[in-house]
């Protein structure tokens, strides 16, 4: 009989996070048939701890974290989706990753954010910011590279991680080792 790291008696919630443009929302939609899925922004608004703004939802992260520790109506095993999800008191985190140049193209094609926002996201992904934050908070982390993959394939991998909770897996990508990324960071386009 094989062993699993999953604790069926205590199905923990999972944060699905990553830099904007890595595919969190699309993967979350695919997972919604298998797991309870909630967006951080929706959770904040429902809790009275988020304010709609023209650019999205401004979340009171500290208050939402406190509320989440007390919440009983958020299903066990729920997948909490959003670029702030790893900052919430959720022990298990899946960080979606994407090649920075692919990420920038996705954001531009979707007309998401300004050029400055896209440059900031390129930099954040290149420097592993979300991953570093999750690890710094002592979370169990799994990285999943979405570059060049379908939403279906990524959702299947994430569902497997949520179901089985294998040993944490980080170091999947190293964008700074890619000469194109390093060159872009050293000499960014005007």
- pTM: predicted TM-score of the whole model, two decimal places: 0.90
107 in a structural domain: yes
DSSP category for residue 78: P
Selected residue with higher pLDDT from 6 and 115: 115
User: Residue 24: which domain range?
Assistant: 14-186
What's the structural domain count of the chain? 1
Whether 101 and 184 have beta carbons less than 8 Å apart is answered as yes
What pLDDT was estimated at residue 107? 93
For residues 62-78, give the mean pLDDT: 85
Q: pLDDT tens digit string along 100-156?
A: 999 999 999 998 888 999 999 999 999 999 999 999 999 999 999 999 999 999 999
The answer to whether residue 173 sits within a structural domain is: yes
Residue 9 counted as domain residue: no
* Phi (first) and psi of residue 181, to 5 degrees: -70, -45
The average pLDDT across 15-38 equals 96
148-177 residue pLDDT tens: 999 999 999 999 999 999 999 999 899 989
- Please report whether residue 58 resides in a domain: yes
Confirm if 17 and 140 have CB atoms less than 8 A apart: no
pLDDT digits (tens, 9 = 90+) for 74-96: 788 899 999 999 999 999 999 99
φ, ψ (nearest 5 deg) of residue 54: -55, -30
pLDDT on residue 1? 39
Burial of 24 (0-12, 13-18, 19+ CB in 10 A): buried
Mean pLDDT to the nearest integer, 65-72: 84
111 is a domain residue: yes
Residue 2: inside a domain, yes or no? no
CATH code where residue 164 lies? 3.40.50.300
The reported pLDDT for the residue numbered 9 is: 35
- Please write the tens of the pLDDT for every residue from 31-62: 998 999 999 999 999 889 999 888 789 999 99
Residue 5 lies in a domain: no
In a domain, 121, yes or no: yes
């Amino acid at each position: 009989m094989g062993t699993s790291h999953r604790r069926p008696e205590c199905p923990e919630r999972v944060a699905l996070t990553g830099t904007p443009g890595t595919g969190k929302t699309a993967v979350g939609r695919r997972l919604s048939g298998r797991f309870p899925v909630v967006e951080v922004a929706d959770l904040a608004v429902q809790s009275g701890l988020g304010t709609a703004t023209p650019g999205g939802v401004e979340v009171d992260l500290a208050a939402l974290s406190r509320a989440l520790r007390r919440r009983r109506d958020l299903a066990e095993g729920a997948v909490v989706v959003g670029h702030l999800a790893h900052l919430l008191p959720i022990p298990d985190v899946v960080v979606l990753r994407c090649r920075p140049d692919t990420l920038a193209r996705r954001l531009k094609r979707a007309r998401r954010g300004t050029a400055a926002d896209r440059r900031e996201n390129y930099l954040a992904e290149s420097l592993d910011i979300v991953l570093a934050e999750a690890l710094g908070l002592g979370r169990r982390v799994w990285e999943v590279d979405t570059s060049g993959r379908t939403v279906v394939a990524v959702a299947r991998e994430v569902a497997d991680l949520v179901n089985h909770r294998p040993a944490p897996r980080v170091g999947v990508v190293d964008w700074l080792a890619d000469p194109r990324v390093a060159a872009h960071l050293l000499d960014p386009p005007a």
